[in-house]
Amino acid sequence: MGLSFQPLGALPVIEANGARIPRIGLGTWRSTHDEGVQAVQAALDAGYRHIDTAARYENEQAVGQALAASGLSRDAIFVTTKVWHTELRAADFRRAAEASVARLGLDHVDLLLVHWPNPEVPLAETIGALCDAQRSGLTRHIGVSNFPAALLDRAVALASVPLVANQCEYHPYLDQTTVLDACRRHGIALIAHTPLGSGKLLADPVIAEIAREHNRKPAQIILRWLMQQPGVAAIPKSSNRLRIGENVAVFDFGLDANSMARIAALAHDDGRVSKPAWHPQWDAPANSSAAHRT
Ligand SMILES: NC(=O)c1ccc[n+]([C@@H]2O[C@H](COP(=O)([O-])OP(=O)(O)OC[C@H]3O[C@@H](n4cnc5c(N)ncnc54)[C@H](OP(=O)(O)O)[C@@H]3O)[C@@H](O)[C@H]2O)c1
């Protein structure tokens, strides 16, 4: 089915293998308890319709509380959750997905992701359990997260229903050409996690200069750079109402080719922010010295 782009209400969506994914969603890692409830409420007030959570974030109940209080109809909201990498055997996966949906107070989520790959569990078993979760109605769509290109190819080949997303770290300090090309080849959206580098990119002088030129905030320049790339969505996290509003106000201006290129040129070999011990072997940056060495 592939990728295409159409507006839905006020905010654009990516159409990826049958899913309509709002291009900006709220990240909620580290937003727990009341802070989590208030962040989701502020996001829904600001027009967000896509909320990203995970069992690991220990905030599914808070997210669910805010969704229930919003008064929005269920089909107006796109909710993503994820199964942790220690729960990837089929029986564990099923139990974990059911528990997430229950904590959210929903009868299904819109997107269920394998949070990280786990080489100790056969990929066929995990992808089988992921597809079963969709077939049994626990989720409308399925996908993966933190899957490098070759592993994504294997997951796609194993899946009996289409994957719609690969949620990966992506921002101007990290060249993700290889995995982005793989996503596009499969008609899968790349949902950019850590899109502001967990805040590390916000003081970058080039971003700051482009922000001044456009009379915008640095976060808006980074998010706009992502939005101008076909097939890319982003889930910036904030627990501040003002910043939550800023991060979604990125569809009323544009960056010219020169600004896009200056921002892309910020990528460097050590640009990755999310480096847990269980990370897979990442794709080499396509344009880096590391890539030229091999
Ligand atoms: N799949 C995975 O393995 C994975 C891994 C990491 C993250 N994620 C997802 O991706 C989401 C985003 O990643 P992240 O939380 O690491 O970091 P991020 O979105 O890159 O950056 C968040 C940081 O930037 C600040 N910030 C946000 N908007 C701002 C603005 N307009 N101006 C100034 N500062 C701003 C936030 O502070 P305030 O809250 O104070 O505004 C926070 O400190 C997570 O919440 C999670 O949902 C997924």
> What confidence tens digit (pLDDT) does each residue in 161-194 have?
999 999 999 999 999 999 999 999 999 999 999 9
Distance CA 15, CA 23 (A): 10
Tell me what the mean pLDDT of segment 43-56 comes to. Answer: 98
Token couple for 38: 């208030």
pLDDT of 286 reads 86
Q: Cβ distance 26 to 235 under 8 Å?
A: yes
CA distances from 67 to 40, 84, 243, 245, 260 (A): 8, 23, 20, 18, 35
| CA pair distance 127, 89, nearest whole angstrom | 10
pTM across the whole model = 0.95
Nearest of 10, 36, 5, 32 to residue 244 by alpha carbon? 36
pLDDT of 291 reads 38
Where in the chain are the domains?
3-291
Task: Decide if 18 contacts 187 (C-beta within 8 A).
Answer: no
**What value does the mean pLDDT take over residues 243-249?**
98
3-state DSSP assignment of residue 40: helix
Residue 85 in contact with ligand 1 by CB distance below 6 A: no
Residue 289 pLDDT > 70: no
Radius of gyration of the chain (CA): 18
Q: What number does the ligand 1 atom closest to the CA of 145 have?
A: 1
Return the C-alpha torsion angle 269, 279, 191, 71, nearest 10: -140
Question: Which is the closest atom of ligand 1 to the Cα of 82?
Answer: 1
**Where residue 3 falls among pLDDT bands split at 50, 70, 90?**
low
Averaged pLDDT for residues 269-273: 96
Which residues are catalytic, by number? Answer: 57
CB 63 within 8 A of CB 36: yes
Query: Would you say the CB of residue 219 lies under 6 angstroms from ligand 1?
Result: yes
* Ligand 1: centre distance to CA 235 (Å): 8
Cα of 237 vs centre of ligand 1, distance in Å, is: 3
| Polymer length in residues for the chain | 294
Per-residue pLDDT tens for 100-132? 999 999 999 999 999 999 999 999 999 999 999
Q: Is 50 left (phi over 0), alpha (psi -120 to 50) or beta?
A: beta
pLDDT for 11: 85
Q: Is the CB of 25 under 6 A from ligand 1?
A: no
How many Å separate Cα 141 from the centre of its chain? 14
Q: Is the CB of 193 under 6 A from ligand 1?
A: yes
CATH 3.40.50.1240 at 3-291, yes or no? no
pLDDT at 61 over 80: yes
